[in-house]
Amino acid sequence: MNVCFIMYPWEEMDPENDSTLALIQEFARRGHGLATTTPANLTIRDSVAFAFCKCLKRADKISNNLKSFHNRAEFYDEMLPLAGFDAIILRSNPPLDMIMLNFLDSVKDDVFIMNDLDGIRRANNKLYTAVFEDDKNEIIPKTHVTKNKSYLKKVIKEGPDKMILKPLNGFGGSGVILIEKRAMKSINSLLDFYIDNKDGTSNYVILQDYIEGADQGDVRILMLNGLPIGAMKRVPGDEDHRSNVSAGGSVQKHSLSKHEKELCRRIGPKLVKDGLYFVGIDVIGGMLVEVNVMSPGGITYINKVYKHKIQEQVIDFVEDKVQEKVNAFERRQKMRKTVSDA
């Protein structure tokens, strides 16, 4: 099987903790052909989608150590047709590059792509939680998304004492702040900073009810084909309210509560229907706050606290999906031959 990762540059990886690297290492360990590229390296030649790729040289032995694997990896450059791959794994960081999806639209019927392009279009930002109907706010906190400053100030003034404000397209905990009603005098400048751009355009922001217990951390749950396959608790550092590891948080073991299992059961079928096979969801106090569909992380951290390998389950799934496409193609070819020979 030949796999192409559309991702961030190899040099920008964290060689000890990168989830994408863990997936690539497992593909290589199984003997699959591997290529990496970035959205900027997609191209069209003679009306066919290609990519300028860095192809991983095959090795007789693959290091079990992630950092060693990263450091020893050797590549050669090739311009390759995207339709020639068996699977394409999207692992680029937000914000979503819509042109990248346009390139991939031409090959989506030929290649298994994870996650589904239309699913990513629907779910690439924090608005996606609204698709899970929850009028009683049993699994999703009260959420407001707008550019309207007057409305936001009204919600803050009439709402609970504490709320969370964050940019719509942020990731890794960037831009997430805790606001308190007692600091209303600072709200105007905060909203100006988050919403207004120098070029006259504006940004959407998210305002959510603060969930009690958020100061104790959140739970990252990795879901594969609609089912949870691993979880960890992320605890904020001493100097930051955010629990993201990239913001200084730490990781602890976590067993899913009954409510968290029910949450996964409720949202799993919709994720699968939208082709969002591998996602990371962030949960606080049993409430869903984010669905990460572009480059869900946490594999290496969950592996460390549970002493197992999440990436093996993910690669098993990709192999099965590719085989399904192969089987379907062979069935069609056989039936077409029967019709032609009749």
Cα distance between residue 76 and residue 126, in whole Å:
37
Q: Domains of the chain (ranges plus CATH)?
A: 2-115+315-322 (3.40.50.20), 142-209 (3.30.1490.20), 214-309 (3.30.470.20)
The pLDDT, as a whole number, for residue 245 is 60
Q: Higher model confidence: residue 260 or residue 212?
A: 260
Q: How far apart are the first and last CA of the chain?
A: 34
Q: Residue 320: in which H helix or E strand, if any? A: helix 310-341
Give 137's contacts (C-beta < 8 A, 6+ positions apart).
Answer: none
Average pLDDT of the chain is 92
Collapsing DSSP states into helix, strand and coil, what is residue 301?
helix
Is 252 within 8 Å of 232 (Cβ atoms)? yes
Is 159 within 8 Å of 218 (Cβ atoms)? no
The pLDDT, as a whole number, for residue 271 is 97
pLDDT > 90 fraction of the chain, expressed in percent and rounded: 78
pLDDT in tens, 83-136: 999 999 999 888 889 999 999 999 999 999 999 999 999 998 778 888 888 888
pLDDT at 64 over 80: yes
Helix 310-341 × helix 19-29 angle, to 10°: 60
The pLDDT, as a whole number, for residue 238 is 57
Q: How confident is the model at residue 246 (pLDDT cuts 50, 70, 90)?
A: low
pTM: 0.88
The pLDDT, as a whole number, for residue 237 is 66
Ramachandran area for residue 226 (φ above 0: left; ψ -120 to 50: alpha; else beta): left
Position 324, amino acid: E
Q: What is the mean pLDDT of residues 58-70?
A: 94
pLDDT in tens, 262-306: 999 999 999 999 999 999 999 999 999 999 999 999 999 999 988
The residues facing 54 across adjacent strands are 36, 77
Q: How, if at all, do strands 87-91 and 112-114 pair?
A: parallel
Is 36 within 8 Å of 7 (Cβ atoms)? yes
pLDDT in tens, 179-196: 998 888 889 999 999 999
